[in-house]
Amino acid sequence: MSETLLRVEELALHYRTRQGTVRAVDGISFDIRRNEALVVLGESGCGKSSLAKALMRVLPRNVAHQGGRVRLGEVEVSALPDERFRREVQWSRLALVMQASMNALNPVVRVGEQVAEPLRVLHGWSRKRALDRAVEVLELVGVSTDFLARYPFELSGGMRQRVVLAMALVAEPELVILDEPTSALDVLTQASIMNALKRIKRELDTSFILITHDVATSSELADRVALMYAGQLVEVADAARFFGEPAHPYSQMLMASVPRLRQRTRPEPIPGQPPSLFDPPGGCRFAERCPYRFARCAQDPPAFRLGERHRARCWLHAENEGNPGGGR
Rounded-to-integer distance, Cα 44 and Cα 175, Å: 24
Find residue 23's DSSP bridge partners.
14
| Range in contact with another protein (rule: CB under 8 A) among 57-65, 144-152, 248-256, 293-301 | 248-256
Residue nearer to another protein on the CB measure, 156 or 299? 156
The reply to whether 35 sits near another protein by the rule CB under 8 A is no
> 215-224 burial by CB neighbour count: b if 16+ within 10 A, else e?
bebbbbbbbb
| Range in contact with another protein (rule: CB under 8 A) among 52-60, 87-95, 168-176, 238-246 | 238-246
| Range in contact with another protein (rule: CB under 8 A) among 50-58, 106-114, 126-134, 184-192 | 184-192
Least Cα distance to 176 among 97, 87, 75 occurs for 97
Residue nearer to another protein on the CB measure, 42 or 327? 42
| Range in contact with another protein (rule: CB under 8 A) among 5-13, 144-152, 234-242, 318-326 | 234-242
Residue nearer to another protein on the CB measure, 141 or 253? 253
Write down the least CB distance from residue 79 to another protein, Å. Answer: 34
Strands 232-238 and 310-312 come out as antiparallel
Q: Residue ranges of the alpha helices (H) in the chain?
A: 48-56, 82-88, 111-123, 127-140, 157-169, 187-203, 215-218, 239-244, 249-257
Rounded-to-integer distance, Cα 249 and Cα 151, Å: 48
The reply to whether 1 sits near another protein by the rule CB under 8 A is no
Rounded-to-integer distance, Cα 98 and Cα 92, Å: 16
The reply to whether 139 sits near another protein by the rule CB under 8 A is no
Residue nearer to another protein on the CB measure, 111 or 221? 221
Q: Tell me which amino acid residue 279 is.
A: D
Rounded-to-integer distance, Cα 254 and Cα 204, Å: 32
Count of residues near another protein by CB under 8 A: 50
The reply to whether 182 sits near another protein by the rule CB under 8 A is no
The reply to whether 279 sits near another protein by the rule CB under 8 A is no
Interface residues with another protein (CB under 8 A)? 37, 43-44, 156, 158, 186-192, 194-195, 198-199, 213-223, 238-240, 242-244, 253-255, 257-264, 266-270, 273
